[in-house]
Structure 1
Amino acid sequence: MKKVTYLAILEPASTGYSVYFPDFPGCISFGETIDKANAMAQEALSLHYYGMEKDGDTIPSPTQTLDPEATKGNLVCPITIYPELYSEERRNRRVKTNTTIPAWLKEKAEAQGINFSRILETALLERLES
């Protein structure tokens, strides 16, 4: 499984740590502690990377070193993500969708304990595979 590591800058703030990635302008996050900042950085980077891939944008190569003067007073942390795993999780997450059926049909199905989501998913899969 592919993994990539990018450098994150954790900038101390009065209530925690602001996080940004030199390789991904606009990819920012925040955490109240270093551990939370790292976890939030991983989530932000995963989502940003996923969005860029989905949009067909060029993914930048990881910067290996940063200018010490530019990072003075901040923490530099390597953040590793697994883009394929994140993409698969996003694709398979459950999403809510609205459907409309006759009231009598809904009542009858509920009386029999039918799982609407399972029925819809099964029917859609059957339809798409035929």
Structure 2
Amino acid sequence: MKKTFYPAVFHKAEEGGYWVSFPDFPECLTEGDDMAEAYEMAVDALGLELTDRIKRKEEVPAAREADQVDTEDGVLVIVEFDQEAYRRKHSSRAVKKTLSIPEWLDEEATARDINFSQVLREALLEKINAG
């Protein structure tokens, strides 16, 4: 689906590690013990911020250009957010769907021990990925 890229500023923390701020989302802050952990936490924090804004039907600002970011005492890092991967990781609860198929197909599939939910999941993923 959709990947977005937002600038973040990684600041060295006095106690060690890094704290991260997002110029486009001033209320969105996170931290990590090292650069790798800080980046992972930044991806999660950005994901939470974006999905919360979408759920609340609030405007999601466009990302600033890198040359428009004041890094102050930090380092500019572009954080990639993959909306599809985030949804798969955080929204995987099962939902029940009702469907209709011909009786003969139901009998044949049941006789062969075919898992209807699995077949539907696989077919939907194939259809989504082909589009």
Determine if the TM-score, normalized by the shorter chain, exceeds 0.5.
Answer: yes
Identity %: 29
Task: Please name the residue that 1:45 is paired with.
Answer: 46
Counterpart-to-counterpart distance in 2, 1:33 and 1:89: 23
The residue type paired with residue 66 of structure 2 is: T
Counterpart-to-counterpart distance in 1, 2:62 and 2:18: 25
The alignment partner of 1:56 has SS state of: coil
Task: Please name the residue that 1:91 is paired with.
Answer: 91
The residue type paired with residue 11 of structure 1 is: H
Moved beyond 4 Å, runs of 4+: none
Total equivalences in the alignment: 98
The alignment partner of 2:18 has SS state of: strand
The residue type paired with residue 42 of structure 2 is: A
Normalization by structure 1: what TM-score? 0.66
1:67 is displaced (CA, Å) by 5.0
Deviations 1:64-112 (A, max 9, x none): 12457x313311100001123312432215xxxxxxxxxxxxxxxxxxx
Normalization by structure 2: what TM-score? 0.66
Counterpart-to-counterpart distance in 1, 2:54 and 2:84: 10
Could you list the runs of 5+ residues in structure 2 that have no partner in the other structure?
A: 100-131
Counterpart-to-counterpart distance in 2, 1:9 and 1:32: 15
Taking the TM superposition and a 5 Å limit, the aligned residue runs for 1:1-130 are: 1-14=1-14, 15-67=16-68, 70-93=70-93, 125=96, 129=98
